[in-house]
Structure 1
Amino acid sequence: MNRRPIGYYVHHQGAGHATRARLIARTLARPCTLIGTFDGADPGVDSFIDLPDDRIAAGFDGRDNAATRPMALHYAPLGVDGLRDRMAQIAAWVASADPVLMIVDVSAEVALFSRLLSVPTLVVRLPGDRTDPPHLEAFRSAERLLAFFPRALDGAANPEWVRSKTAYVGYLSAAPKADPIGEDGSIVVVYGRGGAGGSFADLAAAARAVPERQWQVVGPVTDEGGECPENLRLHGWIPDIGPYLDSAALVIGTGGDGVVSGVVARGKRFVCIPEPRAFDEQAATARALQAHGAAIHRADWPPPGDWPALVRAGLALDPALMTSLDQPDALTRAARLIGDFADRLDPQSSAPKSVGPGVAPYSNGRRA
């Protein structure tokens, strides 16, 4: 007996979207196909579609400037083969697999396209100012909205109908807490995959300004060279930052989901230095954390002379305020919410629909 699958669209920016999708797909009882631009990387699930890249230039921020672009879309450049091919692949998979619903994390265009393909959607909301027409129309088209952050950190600018349509699932942490261990007094600096990384000169100056603390840096660092202070260690990109977070007395990082979910899960003292993102995403998270009293927000990397006082202020934070934002069962609740919604749409298991003559069943990433 077959159960209609769930499609899960995954945005390419950074590692957070794919990590979240992988965690949820592995937890769902119903089959789930991840759909996104993975560039040949292993998404870590049994069923996936590796879409061609639709960007028109390296580093493009996802918003074209076409004067004729409809107000309900962020990105609809003309004559881009990658965009045409990826939409065709999504449509072919929908026609073949007959998904019970599509989770969209995130794309206003894919949310509206799924609706045009007559597929119900659950659309993921990210932090930041997302009151522009494309976001609001994507939210309006969805059956329900999912926020992988706590209600306490939601921006007041969002319309009430958006907030009332939102299920606040909470942060999903891909770095599980270890057995309780004592903090070693270190300062841990974390950079994610989606940004520019850290500057060696800035990190070296900060470590010299606070010589009594060991500085552990995980993630990409640029312009390495020159003399490295004895209390500074650069570890590069590592798949599991959990052990470093566990031992840290103070965490310094961006406002991305990966590091924020890790510090929330552990109740860590946190200095948040957001990286530039569309719609003010990371800065909005940093401001909300500071307003809650759970973190210190700095808009830019501080000069060396500011670090001693900033570290003292960070160590004086009350970890209970960060812990209050944790929802430890977030992954289980997210999977249950999605699964229950799918079951209501598809109360009886069914075989995939016949897709008609000339349309072959489609999947370009299913494992044997």
Structure 2
Amino acid sequence: MNTLPELRRKFRSVWPLLDERTRRIMAANEAVSLGFGGISVVHRACGLSRRAIAKGVREIQEGIVPSEGRIRCPGAGRKSITVSDPRLLDALEEMIDGQTRGDPQSPLRWICKSTRAIARQLGRNKHPVSHAKVAQILHDLNYSLQSNRKTEEGTDHPDRDAQFRHINAAVKRRLAQGIPVISVDTKKKELIGNYNNAGQQWLPAKQPKKVQGHDFPSPEVPRAYPYGIYDLGRNAGFVNVGTDHDTGEFAVASIRGWWHFEGRRLYPDTATLLITADGGGSNGSRLRLWKLELQKFADQTGMCLSVCHFPPGTSKWNKIEHRLFSFITSNWRGEPLRDYETIVNLIARTTTAKGLKVTCRLDRRKYPTGRKVSDEEMKRINVERNKFHGDWNYVIRPKATERS
């Protein structure tokens, strides 16, 4: 067989059944059988390039066999855009960081900008990329595009967005200066015992774990209060699991524990600490005990404590919610929290693909409720309020120079 029409009929009958490599090998085999000029004849008959056919001839002559399950040799094909442009991921996350919001019970984050708008902005920043690739990268980073109504959380404060920008600017400025920035909050209290824990895990078929419901737990049932400190600059978490009550004293004791166990070793020369916190709870902007205990902490360490609170109803924007707590919840889903040691071990084993590391300790100290802070005690707090919403943004300076 050496006529062009016959070769075309032969190739046409089997071509749809072959992959890239087998097409190349078949064409090369025909070219070898034709002898001199065979590559050109086969090229006209099947449409493969002369280079591809010549490559197939070399593979036949050298007996090259690809790895099992592969068509091309390892390393073939175009490099991923994240490899050819290693700054792309950082540029993408930096650009949309101020637009993100998250749910403390989910590892997802949400972004309102369209992928086309993001791709155009990246192109203007010398990171050309298609909107389809942006969507793929965002999906890989656990982002999801949601409708604008998801931003509503109760009644919006008129200065909500301005406070977000204020916090964002303060955090970026401190991180650029090498000053530690921590995001703090209390995770929801957990019942200790063989109680149902939301979520599923892989178990032998039809052998679910038997647990109790906890719709109306007895007051005597022990509870755990995980208070988290997330270090934004180092992607590291520290969780202090309390066994008594979630009070302002407990919140600051948790921050003090982070400082003694990790902070002072990681930031030996810092004179300032920036804390971002919710507007309510044990670290609320109106809680007197929180500020009084912060004053004690400042006096003990000699540090200036700069605090920024998120506006009411916006706790989901706090970084700790979707960078630490959501992964803790995912890690222990479906696992009954039978005792305090189980909680500590599960939290300490929490990791992410981006290298999150979590330290966890158990705090059995007593933190009584009902502590009243008098006006006289409040006057002794060395607080400097920011010109913009001093109730949300303030600095507590040490009254003593002795550091512990």
TM-score (norm: length of structure 2): 0.21
Q: Which has the higher contact order (CA 8 A, sep 6+)?
A: 1
- Higher-Rg member (1/2): 2
